[in-house]
Amino acid sequence: MTATGTRVLVLNSGSSSVKYQLLDMTDTQSAGGSAAGRLAVGLVERIGEENSRLVHTPLATGGDKRETEGPIADHEAALKAVAAELSADGLGLDSPQLAAIGHRVVHGGLKFTEPTVINDAVLQEIERLVPVAPLHNPANITGIRTALALRPDLPQVAVFDTAFHTTMPEYAARYAIDVETADAHRIRRYGFHGTSHAYVSRKTAALLGKDPSEVNVIVLHLGNGASASAVAGGRCVDTSMGLTPLEGLVMGTRSGDIDPAVTFHLGRVAGMSADEIDTLLNKKSGLIGLCGDNDMREIRRRIDEGDERAALAFDIYIHRLKKYIGAYSAVLGRVDAVAFTAGVGENAAPVREAAVAGLEEMGMAVDASLNAVRSDEPRLISPEYARVAVAVVPTDEELEIAQQAYALVSA
């Protein structure tokens, strides 16, 4: 399949939101993957409610951000509204310059190890994975179907959050439970945020002036959702999220690792249903459960005012992070770099400082003045003497999705 255009529309469809970016791949590639090729970015939120909101920024024309509020009934209406905004800037979906639409798809199971051009069989397979990703895949499927209806002639590419982790060895991916039961229900560790882990581990190698095959990197994707990965020579060998995004690090609203018996206890002793426990662990735990806030800025502000609950929440968050740095150092054997990324990782200097504090014996340290620098560029924050490079590497999942989709359709 050879594309004639050079633009890719990236769609990230959630249950009640659609995030989108239109990128020009000739620009992004010549600019080494910087933001130079971004033509428009935007977001539709609260789809299905009375007060839906569309925020559109036409970067290509340098125009002002446009915000519209009012009911947007469903994903089809949302995408049509996005298409109208793009058309108003001369960037409509009917443009021959559009080479592909790249869709973020959360769960690709074991089958999808690469970005994949979507056809009926691929859609069916993504649907077959709904039982293991009930919150995410249905929204992704709706986004794909809607985009296909608008541009049936255009290649649509699914880029899977799980794909980068499919290289995990069986001993890292398999839970130590009865094999027949696990296999019957496709229960294993899949991992998520793979697009980000792939992008950031590659960028970290570039920051060190090395090829990805030459370096071992621990990537800490710390956003509202958070995950760690161990990447050896460009391949993921372990990651902290599992069958679902619930496992691993303490997150904004998710508990991360807990004793699974907590769930039986909540069912038997507290009388909670499976759905109630699911909501507790996914939506009411983590930082918000511990201290009532899930925004690291607010938590830091409260700590500065002497708030003990916020301080304990921060310490629990850091303790878990440190345990994963230690675990993945052991898994990798040799660590060349630790890379912090996503909302917290890129912005919260105190988190980076605390996570690495005391790890000098492992060759890891943070330089206070480098750590305090604010920048959108990948940068080192470790002192020169440190054996392991500690870096801040801003993630760019949309660019990665666009590049993967474009590479596929222009091959």
Active site residues: 161
SS3 117: strand
Burial group, residue 80, by CB count within 10 angstroms (0-12, 13-18, 19+): middle
Residue 100 β-bridge partners: 8
Binding letters toward ligand AMP, positions 1-30, x by CB under 6 A: ------------------------------
Closest distance to ligand AMP from the beta carbon of 250 (Å): 12
Closest distance to ligand AMP from the beta carbon of 225 (Å): 6
CA distance 147 to 149: 5
Give how far Cα 110 sits from Cα of 66, 164, 350, Å.
Answer: 41, 11, 37
Closest distance to ligand AMP from the beta carbon of 177 (Å): 31
CA distance 12 to 19: 5
- Residue numbers 223-252 binding ligand AMP by CB under 6 A: 223-224, 252
CA distance 204 to 215: 9
CA distance 237 to 109: 16
CA distance 148 to 160: 18
Indicate whether 297 belongs to the interface with ligand AMP (CB under 6 A): yes
Residue number of the CB closest to ligand AMP reads 343
For 37, what's the count of Cα atoms within 13 Å in the CB-facing half-sphere? 24
Indicate whether 394 belongs to the interface with ligand AMP (CB under 6 A): no
Beta strands in 78-154 (DSSP E): 98-105, 116-117
- Piece in contact with ligand AMP (CB under 6 A), picked from 40-48, 113-121, 243-251, 293-301: 293-301
Closest distance to ligand AMP from the beta carbon of 297 (Å): 4
Closest distance to ligand AMP from the beta carbon of 227 (Å): 11
Residue of the chain from 325, 344, 381, 390 that contacts ligand AMP (CB under 6 A): 344
Indicate whether 97 belongs to the interface with ligand AMP (CB under 6 A): no
Indicate whether 256 belongs to the interface with ligand AMP (CB under 6 A): no
Residue of the chain from 133, 243, 296, 321 that contacts ligand AMP (CB under 6 A): 296
For 107, what's the count of Cα atoms within 13 Å in the CB-facing half-sphere? 28
Residue 57 β-bridge partners: 41
- Piece in contact with ligand AMP (CB under 6 A), picked from 116-124, 137-145, 308-316, 343-351: 343-351
Indicate the residue among 6 and 240 with the shorter CB distance to ligand AMP. 240
- Quick check: 220 and 340 in contact, CB under 8 A? yes
Indicate whether 295 belongs to the interface with ligand AMP (CB under 6 A): yes
* Angle formed at CA 194 by CA 346 and CA 100, multiple of 5 degrees: 100
- Piece in contact with ligand AMP (CB under 6 A), picked from 163-171, 289-297, 332-340, 354-362: 289-297
List residues near ligand AMP by CB under 6 A.
Answer: 223-224, 252, 294-297, 342-344, 347-348
